């Protein structure tokens, strides 16, 4: 028969086991999994409280291994923040390529066409270039071809070339300003700002070659229409649908020439007297042909980069989406401005505002 001391020892051992075994089970990660959380939202080690229910880490709750270690892993669907930026392009004499940052999806593009050449001796009058602005949806990392139009050259100063005022005054035209172009990598024109036409600075002289009256006739401004402007005084017609402007014929004097368009060069060289005025003036080139300004003849003035026509007796046409025509030789007038194009959203366009060379800018 067991003694009372033996009975008390066995009871103590049994009571200790009842206390220890449940406590040990509490250290098992799956203990109470699926049961309600405590009133304070606590769960055993290795579990988390989700919707008032204890769940094992990684079993569908919000926490994962990285969060269990205190590391916040980035969300795969988190929105990428693209910093704002801009890029400005000035005249370079060549077509340049530009690639947007990979995060950009919308860009605002603004372009200015170049001003046409003015009259002699620093007198102004060259047509001002157009301003064209629009917003464009783009593919991240998209590339563009950019041509920035230059400013046309002014008329020949008095007695600087041929030695007699009467002949110099017959070369009073300024050359055409260049159009500015933004084109996709695949060759689609998105935005074009037309260049201004060249002015004509004419005069009357007496029998001794003395100037008795001077007249400055301005060149046409860069247009908002896609069509190029006709030369002043009923001069040669401007281009349409991307073609170049036309050159007014004059068998006596070398006239100015037409401006280049997006796909078509200006039409026709000057056809004046080679005996008195040397070689002919050439028209401006299209964007697709490199966008060079027209090459002036022996005593002509080169057109601006961007398709500006070269100048002679009258002002030349400006480059643009369609080129401007040359001024009339009957009374002598300025050349027409080049046409413009805007395929963007929220267009903001102004004709004839840019003095000096053109410019192109991107903002995102």
Distance, CA of 1 to CA of 173 (rounded, Å): 137
Which pLDDT belongs to residue 156?
78
Given a contact cutoff of 8 angstroms between Cβ atoms, the answer to whether 176 and 128 are in contact is no
Confidence check: pLDDT of 158 > 60? no
Count how many residues are written for the chain. Answer: 364
Whole-angstrom CA distances from 294 to 112, 217, 282, 297 are 20, 21, 5, 9
pLDDT tens per residue across span 205-214: 677 767 777 7
Which pLDDT belongs to residue 164?
46
> Considering the entire predicted model, what is its pTM?
0.77
Given a contact cutoff of 8 angstroms between Cβ atoms, the answer to whether 181 and 189 are in contact is yes
pLDDT tens per residue across span 161-177: 444 444 445 678 999 99
Range of lowest pLDDT (33-37, 91-95, 255-259, 360-364)? 33-37
Mean pLDDT of 141-145: 98
- The band of 288, judged by pLDDT with boundaries at 50, 70 and 90, is very high
Mean pLDDT of 77-98: 89
Contacts (Cβ under 8 Å, ≥6 apart) of 183: 144, 145, 146, 147, 189, 190, 287
């Amino acid at each position: 028969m067991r003694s009372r001391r033996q009975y008390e020892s066995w009871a103590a051992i049994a009571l200790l086991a009842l206390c220890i075994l449940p406590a040990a089970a509490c250290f098992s990660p799956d203990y109470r999994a699926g049961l309600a959380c405590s009133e304070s939202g606590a769960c055993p080690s290795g579990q988390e409280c989700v919707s008032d229910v204890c769940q094992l880490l990684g079993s569908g709750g919000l926490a994962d291994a990285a969060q269990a270690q205190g590391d916040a892993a980035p969300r795969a669907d988190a929105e990428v923040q693209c910093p704002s930026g801009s890029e400005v392009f000035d005249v370079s004499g060549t077509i340049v390529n530009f690639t947007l940052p990979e995060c950009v999806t919308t860009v605002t593009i603004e372009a200015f066409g170049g001003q046409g050449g003015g009259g002699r001796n620093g007198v102004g009058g060259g047509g001002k270039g157009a301003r064209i602005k629009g917003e464009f949806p783009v593919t991240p990392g998209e590339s563009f071809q950019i041509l920035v139009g230059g400013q046309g050259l002014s008329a020949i100063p008095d007695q600087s070339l041929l030695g007699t005022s009467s002949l110099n005054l017959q070369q009073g035209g300024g050359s055409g300003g260049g159009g500015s172009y933004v084109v996709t990598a695949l060759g689609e024109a998105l935005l074009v700002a037309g260049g201004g036409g060249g002015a004509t600075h004419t005069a009357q002289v007496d029998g001794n070659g003395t100037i008795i009256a001077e007249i400055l006739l301005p060149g046409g401004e860069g247009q908002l229409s896609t069509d190029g402007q006709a030369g002043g005084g009923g001069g040669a017609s401007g281009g349409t649908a991307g073609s170049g402007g036309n050159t007014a014929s004059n068998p006596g004097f070398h006239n100015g020439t037409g401006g280049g368009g997006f796909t078509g060069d200006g039409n026709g060289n000057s056809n004046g007297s080679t005996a008195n005025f040397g070689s002919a003036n050439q028209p401006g080139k299209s964007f697709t042909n490199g966008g060079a300004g027209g090459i002036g003849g022996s005593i002509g003035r080169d057109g601006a980069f961007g398709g500006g026509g070269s100048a002679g007796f009258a002002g030349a046409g400006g480059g643009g989406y369609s080129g401007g025509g040359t001024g009339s030789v009957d009374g002598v007038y300025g050349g027409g401005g080049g046409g413009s194009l805007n395929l963007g959203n929220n267009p903001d366009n102004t004709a004839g505002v840019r003095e000096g060379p053109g410019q192109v800018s991107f903002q995102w």
